[in-house]
Chains A and B, each alone.
Chain A
Amino acid sequence: MMIAGAKSPLGWAVHLSVLAFVLLWTLPTAGLLVSSLRDKDQIAVSGWWTALSSSSQNLLFRAPAGDGERLEDGRYVLDGNVLEQGGGTISAFGFSSREPAAFAAGEVAELPGDVRLSVASDGSFTLSGPESFAGGRGQRIFYTAETPPRFTTENYWNVLTAAGLGRSFLNSMTVAVPSTVIPILIAAFAAYALAWMPFPGRSLIVAAVVGLLVVPLQMSLIPLLTIYNSVGQALGFDPKSYIGIWLAHTGFGLPLAIYLLRNYMAGLPREIMESARVDGATDFQIFTRIILPLSFPALASFAIFQFLWTWNDLLVALVFLGPQDDKLVLTGRLVNLLGSRGGDWEILAASAFVSIAVPLAVFFLLQRFLVRGLLAGSVKGG
């Protein structure tokens, strides 16, 4: 804007640096997304950035020792196909591990002992020699197979059914939705009282809420776990219940909810409330008919925050819902998979995307409210 005069060289530098930023910030996610859609054999042998080119693999095939050979013009002939499983094309082959790609597909290789071997590009091979192949260990055939890029949604079906992701998805939903709705209800009333109802000790409570905003969750875990266990024992139900985690998320989310909503409500024009009061409206009516509808943007901001936070949470879920298989939320499931299936990237990539799909959708659809909430929550007086 103000450096419009220096447009050409500096302008390009700005565009390029922003491009670099964007690439750095999106490539890691893009890599995993591409991988989650690739064939699992290909993920294991080539980088995701080669996903669009065909991958070449050096493989070994051992011809059967005499089974199915036939006699033709005094020579024993054996044919078959090296590509027994999986498709692809053969680009090169060889008969010793020192030169696994000595011959191009279709050529005829001369082996010691007057044996001839040829492998066509479709994988069919012909082996012929003066003596029967029976009794030997079977001729080794080295070949280089080019596999065309293959994309599949199979990984997603696998994780949703076999890896327990479907179950965890439901669990995450069950945790996140009530944990978002309950604190809003409680906080809205409190925020109105703190913003518009004069009473002794009000500023003290506001200060306390600001202080509680930053209390680390770690302080709460052990005492609450103790309370939950004794309450569960006294009333005779499992202390690791959904109700327990809903209330825990409510408690932890309240300071931010009250803080955001109070700031927003305090900024509403006083005249609206005064004229309503002159008309004989009670505080309760003013709150439900005027303040709540007007506060919709702030309510939406907090709802998004709280939903993202409860959906993405791992710690509270591990402590208050426990690590049992049927109660694992998506984040907990992912951590488990990282431990048990650490190298199976097709499982991890697809699972990670199942778990981040919902927050990403919320993010892109409701970004406006998210940004507004962030600004209200952080730029105090700015």
Chain B
Amino acid sequence: MNQLWMALLTIALGIAGAVVYFWGANAILDRIFPSRAPDMQTASRNIRRAALVRPWLFLAPALFALCLYLVYPVIASTWLAFHDRSGDRFVGLDNFRWLLGDAGFRESMFNNFLWLLVVPAASTFLGLLAAALTDRIAWGNLAKSLIFMPMAISFVGAAVIWKFVYDYRAAGSDQIGILNAIVVAFGGEPQAWIAIPFWNNFLLMAILVWIQTGFAMVILSAALRGIPEETIEAAVLDGASGVQIFFRIMVPQIWGTIAVVWTTITITVLKVFDIVLAMTNGQWNSNVLANLMFDWMFRGGGDFGRGATIALVIMVLVVPIMIWNIRNARREMEGK
């Protein structure tokens, strides 16, 4: 209860602090550069000067937080990657050399590439399929809502849900995991699914695909609806079939959106950590970079050099998407 009051108090203090800061800073600015000066010239000069300062007053808290929590850490992590476990001694490329020789890293890298190949492709494809199908039926919105629902579930919650699906009981006893129950019903042998190296990766990926498909569906569905009717009508008049219209007329018009969905899911995949931690904690050859990084960050009191090096690898993989995003955003701003 105490804790609850503290949280409420902090919210109140935070809001009050923000109001005091923004309102107070603004008032002080108006005091220094009063817009109601006796002569026109001073007044307009004051307004101009205040207009130069005011944006920075509005931006200051955000810029400070962005710098402290994102910009500085990127620089510091890069610096740490060239230092030893406590960050005191410069070790050059030692961490990278260790990385290349480390079996755990190679395994994680390999798995991460599998994830990158499968999850964005599968989620985008299934999302597109779901969007195209649900747009055609009366109960489409209900279906959409249900397919979208896993978006709200945490990765850990999803891991519990799917661990139950993959649950394994020895052959002969009743299976309580639905996957094994189906396998047994068709006369197969029950398997301890998540302990099968290599293939278990795909079972973990299924969880993320299950979560991300709804996201892809919602966005692609909006894009499909934005396609001009005339292009489709023209195709119908030319005698194109439904499938032809979909793949030749509609999909090419939403390539831009598909790319955005694909890259957004790619970023999520690179950071995936909770699912692997909760399902296998990297056992049975299922480790990924983010989990490996977490491991090194705390293992034996923490090896910050190696942890930062792995984080840097993830960062480098993200950079192309980052540049692409920035270029798109700039083009869009200039267009306005």
Contact = CB atoms under 8 A, between A and B. Distances in A.
A212 B294 CA distance: 21
Contact of A345 (B66, B80, B176, B315): B176
B152 A185 contact: no
A266 B77 CA distance: 34
Given A178-B10, A210-B329, A222-B297, A331 B134 contact: no
Contacts of A186: 18, 61-62, 65
A205 interface: yes
Nearest to B277: A335
A205 B55 CA distance: 12
A216 B315 contact: yes
Q: Which of A213, A222, A312 has its CB near the most chain B CB atoms (within 10 A)?
A: A222
B146 to A, nearest CB: 5
A338 B283 CA distance: 14
B278 to A, nearest CB: 5
B222 A334 contact: no
Contacts of B312: 219
A371 interface: yes
Contacts of B4: 170, 173-174
Contacts of A220: 69-70, 73-74, 77
A356 B264 CA distance: 24
B122 interface: no
Contacts of B245: 2
A192 to B, nearest CB: 6
A186 B57 CA distance: 11
Contacts of B146: 22, 25-26
Q: How extensive is the interface on chain B, given as a class?
A: 35 or more
B277 A216 contact: no
Contact of A367 (B52, B134, B148): B148
Q: How extensive is the interface on chain A, given as a class?
A: 35 or more
B29 to A, nearest CB: 9
Interface stretch (B89-97, B99-107, B265-273): B265-273
A339 B143 CA distance: 35
Nearest to B1: A170
Contacts of B139: 18
B interface majority secondary structure: helix
Q: Which of B6, B149, B157, B245 has its CB near the most chain A CB atoms (within 10 A)?
A: B157
Interface in A67-106: none
B6 to A, nearest CB: 7
Contacts of B223: 379, 382
A210 B325 CA distance: 7
Interface stretch (B108-116, B197-205, B210-218): B210-218
Contact of B311 (A193, A206, A222, A266): A222
A49 B264 CA distance: 36
A369 to B, nearest CB: 13
B304 to A, nearest CB: 5
Interface string A190-225: 101110010100110111111111111111111111
A46 interface: yes
A224 B165 CA distance: 38
B248 interface: no
A21 interface: yes
A199 B256 CA distance: 31
Contact of B273 (A284, A315, A382): A315
B333 interface: yes
A223 B315 CA distance: 15
A25 B65 contact: no
Contacts of A266: 336
28 contacts: A18-B140, A21-B129, A21-B130, A21-B133, A174-B3, A174-B4, A178-B14, A182-B14, A185-B18, A186-B62, A199-B56, A220-B70, A222-B80, A223-B73, A223-B80, A226-B87, A255-B66, A330-B154, A338-B278, A352-B157, A355-B154, A355-B156, A359-B153, A375-B222, A378-B264, A379-B223, A382-B254, A382-B260
7 interchain residue pairs of minimum CB distance:
A251-B69, A312-B154, A190-B62, A363-B152, A223-B76, A220-B73, A193-B58
